Amino acid sequence: MAPINLHNLKKAYRYCKKNGVIAAFDACRERLTVKPLPYEKRMVSEEELQRQREALFSGTPLVSVLVPAYCTDPSYFDAMIRSLLVQTYENWELIIADASPDEAPLRTIAYGFADKRIHYYHLENNAGISENTNRALEQASGRYIALLDHDDFLEPDALYHMLMVFETNPKAQVAYSDEDKVSGDGLRFYEPHYKLKFNLDLILSNNYICHFLMMEAGLMKRLGFRAAYDGAQDHDLILRAAGTLFRSKGAIVHVPEVLYHWRCHESSTAENPESKRYAYEAGLCAVRDLIRKMGWKATVQHSKHLGFFDVTFENIFRDRKDIAAYGGSLVRGGRIAGGALDENGNVLYQGLPVRFSGYMNRASLKQDVYAIDAACLVVRPELADFFHAIMEKTDDTKEAGLLFAKEVQKRGLLLLWDPAMTKRI
């Protein structure tokens, strides 16, 4: 249950002002009644870490880790570097682009480790997060490039697990891991973000990929970072990558391990989303830009949650040739009773009050799913005959939805779930 304190009361007030009393009441009710996931920071045995140190990778590729820095707390900066020094995969370079007015504090720490893998560059001026990162990117010589914030830190086996994606999947060009939050003192770990496999429509809704991100160097250097999207530069980067890779199965890969710790302090977005409202405007613009480049006709608006967006297509079957069908939820007694399904036929978000947002707000976001109950499905006209043939074979709409999904998978198409679409049963 969320604690009742001044910080949360302020958040509730802002939410009410933005979304209205009813939505604020539902949000408060959800926070007060839904128990957070039990969580303990992952522990890796020394035996496993040693096994990783001895593992061989083809060509022992160099990984460039980019860190744009600005007036970083020295203790946070020190912890960030130390998290790299203990990596089980050792062929990395740390490229620090420091835009702080005074270079002495961070330079002293960086070179105090006397490690040739650490490269410190002091920038003449602070040109913003995107341009500062571009300066670091220019210095990168690795086959793969990873992004690390100046006040966050990694698990000791982070680089190992990310590299394993590229080692075992020749089609991979992007890898991302799960993450959690950590208190300013680095002692309390909480709010793990267990992510989904690459989900095109979910990344249009918000940057769920976020940390830890590693990308094939050629791709990242071609894309670069755009100053117009400062604050949402990582979202803009992955959106543009997705725009070129989403048809290539296996190009964007999820690593299901919490490898990244996002430090929360007063000025961080993790702790205080209101501290960077400009970032959400930049994110909105980034989504709109991708939609424009893809030639899709759609509107993009802020959702009720900061940093989350709602994309509405003018004619989804005309613009999205990759969408086989879309649908929503079956609702009984104000709770989700059917609709989106996983591979085993389990109902996603089953039992959740229909006005709740769910874990990481996912139950309130449009997203691609494995299957959707046929009772709440709108099918692409070209697939209508096939769909009707399935419906003639069974009266079970859940079974029909799963059978239709198998055909969709064969054709490499997507099923889009829209939480705003509901059917009472």
Q: What is the CATH number of the domain that holds 53?
A: 3.90.550.10
Residues 250 and 355 placed together within one structural domain of the fold: no
Does residue 272 lie within any of the structural domains?
no
Of 396, 377, 302, nearest in space to 387 by CA: 377
pLDDT value at residue 24 = 61
pLDDT in tens, 25-75: 666 776 777 788 789 999 999 999 999 999 999 999 999 999 999 999 999
Question: In this structure, are 51 and 21 located in the same domain?
Answer: no
Domain end residue (candidates: 263, 281, 299) = 263
Q: Which amino acid makes up residue 372?
A: I
Count of beta carbons in the 10 Å neighbourhood of residue 80? 25
Domain count, the chain: 3
In a domain, 288, yes or no: no
31 and 50, same domain (yes or no): no
- Same structural domain, 77 and 223: yes
Question: Which tokens hold the place of 332?
Answer: 């009984």
Q: Which two tokens stand for residue 293?
A: 């480049």
State the residue range of the domain holding 69.
46-263
pLDDT at 19: 65
Q: Are residues 221 and 172 in the same domain?
A: yes
**Residue labelled with tokens 């793969």:** 144
Apex 361 CA angle, 358 and 367, nearest 5: 105
Q: Is residue 271 part of a domain?
A: no
Rounded mean pLDDT for each run of 10 residues along the chain, 425 residues in total: 53 59 64 82 96 96 98 98 98 98 97 98 97 98 98 98 97 98 95 97 97 98 98 97 94 98 73 71 97 97 94 97 98 98 97 95 98 98 96 96 96 97 96
Q: Is 28 within a domain?
A: yes
Both 10 and 90 in one domain: the answer is: no
Q: Is residue 56 part of a domain?
A: yes
The verdict on 18 and 55 lying in the same domain is no
284 within a domain of the structure (yes/no): no
Please indicate, yes or no, whether residues 367 and 257 belong to a single structural domain of this protein. Answer: no
Query: What global pTM score does this model have?
Result: 0.92
Element (H, E) at 414: strand 414-424
First to last CA, the chain: 31
DSSP line for 53-115: HH---TT---EEEEEEESS--HHHHHHHHHHHHT-SS--EEEEEEE--S--HHHHHHHHHT--
* Per-position DSSP letters for 299-330, written without gaps between them: EEEE-SSTT-EEEEESSHHHH-TTEEEEEEEE
Residues 57 and 132 in one domain: yes
Does one domain contain both 320 and 386?
yes
Of 223, 243, 263, the last residue of a domain is 263
Spatial CB neighbours of 361, under 8 Å, sequence gap ≥ 6:
206, 305, 308
User: Could you tell me if residue 279 is inside a domain?
Assistant: no
**End-of-domain residue from the set 263, 283, 305:** 263
d(CA 188, CA 165): 29
Same domain, 140 and 28: no
Could you tell me if residue 212 is inside a domain? yes
Contact yes or no for 80/155 (Cβ under 8 A): no
What is the pLDDT at residue 33?
A: 76
91 shares its domain with 235? yes
pLDDT at 1: 46
What pLDDT is stored for residue 391 in this prediction? 96
What kind and span of H or E run contains 153? Answer: strand 153-154
